[in-house]
A and B are shown apart, each in its own frame.
Chain A
């Protein structure tokens, strides 16, 4: 019987099966940020076990609130910073070098096919785009990960999504994943790995695959997973060219992680995306999704482009193409947060930042920012935001505020008109 990618990763990393169905896995990467890690550090210190299992496998970043906004967030940053220095963690990213974790760490080449990855952050599922098993965990799992380099999971059942057809102009990975979540609901993939397959995924960039996998958790999924292919190899090549003689050799190695043709799935769901339209959320759950045509005309007070879902260069380019030579509605506050310093710099070089600024956007430093209302871009009661982020929970971007999730293209078109707008008219 064949195996899925997740099953192959589990089989190669399992160090213990304390009970049937429970697997303790060896971890390749443990990622840390300043919100969920400090309490793990404090507990390790209180236990007299302030140690790390492998300094080279731990990656840390200050990203949720940065630069710090007050004494409390400065203290969280300080705890993480001092811990990273104390343990000689080389891959620690502080102010000036920091960015949104799920954009920054892939960009540094830290994630490879076949890896096991955890972080105290639910959107860790993003990294499955590389053919890795990447799961968000709580602080206690993170703490044990830091100390022992292991984490326990239930048996990895996978749902295979066959995405076929071709995306129409103005329709992107974000629209696909919103549609998928709408189809299976916010708990449709609980305890399951969401394996994204088909010609639509094959033709996607790594950035788009990350957008797809990023929102797996919004359907309850443990990890998103895409099959490693030449797109994966090309993306990673600057980091792996010393390990492999040729790209073909890397590809041959990486594709060993691909699911077997006769792998067994918990469910197989076929979706033809050809007639899919740009999608927008309403309400307070990410599965409350309608087409932009139905949502058009809904007033918004703010437009936010950024985050681990859609703050990458590809996203900025798409939005800039729509914003070029135009200005945003006077009733709207536009906020752009490039997800990493590299993205920011490249956007500057390409003239993208100028387009956003000329259109009337405020450009912030790379940070999780408005997405979870922890630092900048917080909404007032009764306000709404068109956002490229991943969560529209009540109060998410500020108490009493409403978030409409959508693609960067739809966000840009919405910024111009001040109401939810079909981006296709600007393409």
Chain B
């Protein structure tokens, strides 16, 4: 099982799509590692720079609704994975992106509006840091001298995929 947690990258917009996460022109790469430099290259958000240290150091992304909409490309979770980001927390996800995350043994966690606002209240902190326990379904966010604890829901199947390290390992022994 992967580790989940670390510095947070806040992407404060709904409908961030797969083309923004990894543009189609890079889909010609045939190893996951080769995708690394192109993370979020086409995402235009005020104050966001994909080449910045805060993007490079991030281990958790926090965003709004319908995260990962668009293409089926698993290159989107992969470009996160090779950059050390193993968890995305959002108001909601596009189906294929969410499934791709869990299929890779990573986590796409849906937060209800109030809890999501709690996380976004740390968006101004340079040192925002999230620890996630994917077995207990709890976490803590720290930043700017504050600390808040939270709980979340993980569907049993998603939990099983995270524990197994992904869908291939889960399915291989079973079907």
Interface residues, chain A, CB within 8 Å of chain B? Answer: 15-16, 18-22, 24, 35-36, 38-39, 42-43, 47, 49, 64-65, 70, 72-73, 75-76, 79, 119-122, 124, 136-141, 143-144, 147-148, 150, 152, 186-187, 190-191, 217, 220, 222, 285, 372-374, 391, 393-396, 399
Contact = CB atoms under 8 A, between A and B. Distances in A.
A191 B155 CA distance: 14
A39 B92 CA distance: 27
Contacts of A150: 171, 175
Interface in B7-44: 15, 17, 19-20, 23-25, 27-32, 42, 44
B142 interface: no
B69 A121 contact: no
Contacts of B171: 144, 147-148, 150, 152
A382 to B, nearest CB: 14
A388 to B, nearest CB: 18
Contacts of B86: none
B166 interface: yes
B76 to A, nearest CB: 9
A235 B72 CA distance: 28
B56 interface: no
Contacts of A143: 168
B62 interface: no
B69 A220 contact: yes
Contact of A76 (B17, B30, B42): B30
A374 B27 contact: yes
B141 interface: no
Contacts of A18: 157, 160, 174
Interface string B150-173: 000001110010000011100110
A175 B160 CA distance: 42
Given A72-B29, A393-B20, A186 B166 contact: no
A85 to B, nearest CB: 18
B77 interface: yes
Interface stretch (B47-55, B93-101, B125-133): B93-101
Contact of B72 (A47, A120, A187, A399): A120
A327 B66 CA distance: 42
7 contacts: A19-B160, A152-B171, A220-B69, A220-B94, A372-B24, A373-B23, A393-B17
B104 interface: yes
Contact of B96 (A43, A49, A72, A122): A122
B138 interface: no
Contact of A190 (B25, B92, B155, B174): B92
Contact of B24 (A144, A187, A396): A396
Given A141-B167, A186-B15, A136 B96 contact: yes
Contacts of B69: 186-187, 220
Contacts of B95: 190-191, 220, 222
Interface residues of B, number: 44
A36 to B, nearest CB: 7
B72 A138 contact: yes
Given A22-B155, A220-B66, 20 more contacts: A19-B156, A36-B73, A39-B30, A43-B168, A119-B72, A120-B72, A122-B70, A122-B96, A139-B100, A140-B104, A148-B172, A186-B66, A217-B70, A373-B25, A374-B27, A374-B28, A391-B71, A395-B19, A395-B23, A399-B23
Contacts of B44: 394
Interface of B: 15, 17, 19-20, 23-25, 27-32, 42, 44, 65-66, 69-74, 77, 92-96, 99-100, 103-104, 155-157, 160, 166-168, 171-172, 174-175
A49 B173 CA distance: 12
A64 B70 CA distance: 16
A139 B74 contact: yes
A144 B157 contact: no
Contact of A122 (B28, B71, B77, B103): B71
Given A122-B71, A137-B96, A152 B17 contact: no
A137 B72 contact: yes
A76 B70 contact: no
B139 to A, nearest CB: 22
Given A36-B73, A220-B95, A152 B30 contact: no
Contacts of A136: 72, 96
A394 B42 CA distance: 8
Contacts of A42: 30
A39 B156 CA distance: 28
Contacts of A122: 70-72, 96
Q: Which of B15, B72, B92 has the most CB of A within 10 A?
A: B72
Q: Which of A22, A119, A395 has the most CB of B within 10 A?
A: A395
B96 A47 contact: no
A36 B72 contact: yes
B19 A396 contact: yes
A55 to B, nearest CB: 18
A138 B157 contact: no
Nearest to B101: A138
Contacts of B166: 140
Contacts of A187: 15, 65-66, 69, 92, 94
A333 B158 CA distance: 48
A138 B17 contact: no
A144 B30 contact: no
